Amino acid sequence: MNKSILLILLLFVSSKLTAQTFNILPYTPSENFFLNSVFFLDEAHGYVGLGNFSNTGTLLTTTDAGLTWSETSFADCSIITSIYFSDINNGFITTDNQNVSYKTTDGGVNWVSVFCQTDGPGLAYFKDNDTAFYYRVSSTGNTFAKSTDAGSSWTAFPIENAFNLSLIQDIHFPNNAGDIGFLIDTDYVYKTTDNGVTWNEIYETTDTLSDAESLFFIDTEIGFRTRQSQIEKTTNGGTSWEPISTFGGQDISFIDTNIGFVQTTGTGAATEDNIFKTDDQGASWQELKFNNTSEITDFHFVNENLGYVITLDTIYKVTDTQVLSIADIAQKQTLVAFPNPATTHIRFKNKLDMASKYSLYNSFGQDIQSGTFKTEINVQHLPSGIYVLKIANSKTLKIIKN
């Protein structure tokens, strides 16, 4: 069942510690529902998977950058566990029902039920638009299946030489291409050189610190593995791993050879569940801190300056992720806008010592006025509504125009 949801207000929340902007997209799940998975093709087209405990999984779809969402309900599952779209027409979702995943070829107008040939529910990894792997997070039964027709049909097969394999945590092929790929369970790393036909164990975790969670390789030699207590890096194709953080991680992904993002576990140096960014291939990490009040459940970055983070009850759009130093923050001046609401001009307490650049955004996130100012900004010509004022080297303010 599809229904349109009219959503009006776009709120903007700025971090106190970093230069990134977290925009709260206008969707609040109904009671007993929670946000579980997220995937965006680009800024306009995105999808969020919901779950509840009454056998009604829900997929949210937006085509206008999250201003409005449509809902599609699936009666034979409770949770949408993973989402993949190759373009605006072709998509695939997995659910918590071991017998049911779904595929669409018309942008979600119609969904066809698909059985992925495993003995329990799992997740799907699409290496490319045609080749996909379905892995079951379970210690018994068939745990692995492969599709070569974009998820229309699946073939289950055992992983050869994987005598110690307990439950598959993640799988990744560098650049989502080629014949060389890697997968992990809680303790072991496996490698394929024939596009997933055979897999061989290449590494065994010998310490007892914590289980592995996620995996990402930027090429066939350099990869990253998250554990509940630390993040690890390999530079020799997975045969050895070294810790590169003092905090644990869950999901990890890179958008190029240097820039990556990780969801932390709230352990060690990361005292809260949050998103960290690296721009030097894991040598250092900066926290993209925002005012989330519930657990992060998933994230997806389209590029360095555009990403989406979901908690149990909120969808965040993340932009401008360059992190400021403490010295930069100390140089910021605190401004208070008045009158607010305004009718003709916005003036400021704690006036700036020099002219500063500013941008004014409407509720659609569009930059509708930019320039420089020192004492006031003319808003007389603007329609009534809510605006966001971003001032260089200062705070972000919400402005109401009457």
308: which 2 tokens?
């989406």
Per-residue pLDDT, averaged over 226-245, amounts to: 94
Work out the mean pLDDT of the chain and round it to a whole number: 80
Q: What is the per-residue pLDDT for 293? A: 60
Residues 178 and 130 both lie in one domain: yes
Mark which of 299, 326, 353 sits at the end of a domain.
Answer: 326
Instruction: Give the model's pLDDT for residue 296.
Output: 86
262 and 351, same domain (yes or no): no
Would you state the pLDDT for residue 284? 92
Cα distance between residue 372 and residue 134, in whole Å: 53
Q: What is the CATH number for 358?
A: 2.60.40.10
Residues 281 and 382 in one domain: no
pLDDT at residue number 6: 28
As a whole-number percent, the residues of the chain with pLDDT over 90 amount to 40
Is pLDDT at 192 greater than 90 in this prediction? yes
Per residue in 215-226, pLDDT (tens digit) is 999 999 999 999
First to last CA, the chain: 40
Q: Say if residues 192 and 199 touch (Cβ distance below 8 Å).
A: yes
- The predicted-structure confidence for 121-157, as pLDDT tens digits, reads as follows 889 999 999 999 998 765 555 578 999 999 999 998 7
Do 337 and 259 share a structural domain? no
Least confident of 53-62, 67-76, 214-223, 384-393: 384-393
Q: Of residues 374 and 156, which shows the higher confidence score?
A: 156
In this predicted structure, the answer to whether residue 2 has a pLDDT above a threshold of 50 is no
Answer whether residue 345 shows pLDDT above 70.
yes
Looking at the structure, tell me whether residues 353 and 321 fall in a common domain: no
pLDDT of residue 370: 87
* Largest separation between any pair of C-alpha atoms in the chain: 73
Confidence of residue 365 (pLDDT cuts 50, 70, 90): low
In this structure, the answer to whether residues 336 and 291 fall within a common structural domain is: no
Q: Quick one: 277 and 364 in the same domain? A: no
Confidence band (pLDDT; 50, 70, 90) for 166?
low
Q: How many other CB atoms are found less than 10 A from the CB of residue 257?
A: 10
pLDDT bucket at 283, cuts 50 / 70 / 90:
very high
Residues spanned by the domain of 199? 2-326
- Asked whether residue 184 falls in the same domain as residue 254, the answer is yes
Amino acid found at 164: N
Segment 172-197 shows an average pLDDT of 93
Q: What domain count does the chain have? A: 2
Q: Looking at residue 203, what is its pLDDT? A: 94
pLDDT computed for residue 33 by the predictor: 83
pLDDT reported for residue 396: 64
Domain co-membership, 360 together with 304: no
Q: How would DSSP label each residue in 310-368?
A: EESS-EEEEE--PPPPHHHHHT-B--EEESSSBSSEEEEES--SS-EEEEEE-TTS-EE
Residue bearing the bigger pLDDT, 212 or 39: 39
**pLDDT band for position 347 (cuts 50, 70, 90):** confident
Lowest mean pLDDT among 6-20, 360-374, 388-402: 6-20
User: pLDDT, tens digit, for every residue of 64-113?
Assistant: 888 888 999 998 898 999 999 999 999 999 998 888 999 999 999 999 99
Q: What is the pLDDT of residues 288-326, one digit of tens each?
A: 876 666 688 899 999 988 888 888 888 888 887 543 322
**284 lies in the same domain as 373:** no
Pick the last residue of a domain from 293, 326, 359: 326
CA distance 220 to 178: 10
Quote the pLDDT of residue 340: 74
Lowest average pLDDT, out of 54-68, 239-253, 273-287, 341-355, goes to 341-355
- Letter for the amino acid at 69? W
> What per-residue confidence (pLDDT) applies to 306?
87
Q: Of 326, 355, 390, which closes a domain?
A: 326
Q: What mean pLDDT do residues 192-197 have?
A: 93
- What pLDDT does residue 393 have? 59
Return d(Cα 382, Cα 361) in angstroms, integer: 11
CATH number at residue 216: 2.130.10.10
User: Do 235 and 199 share a structural domain?
Assistant: yes
In this prediction, residue 1 has a pLDDT band, given cuts at 50, 70 and 90, of: very low
For 36, 160, 286, the CA distances from 47, given in Å and listed in that order, are: 11, 35, 27
Query: What are the backbone dihedrals phi and psi of residue 98, each rounded to the nearest 5 degrees, phi first?
Result: -60, -20
Question: Residue 142 corresponds to which tokens in the numbers above?
Answer: 């068939």
Is residue 334 over pLDDT 70?
A: no
Q: Are residues 283 and 349 in the same domain?
A: no
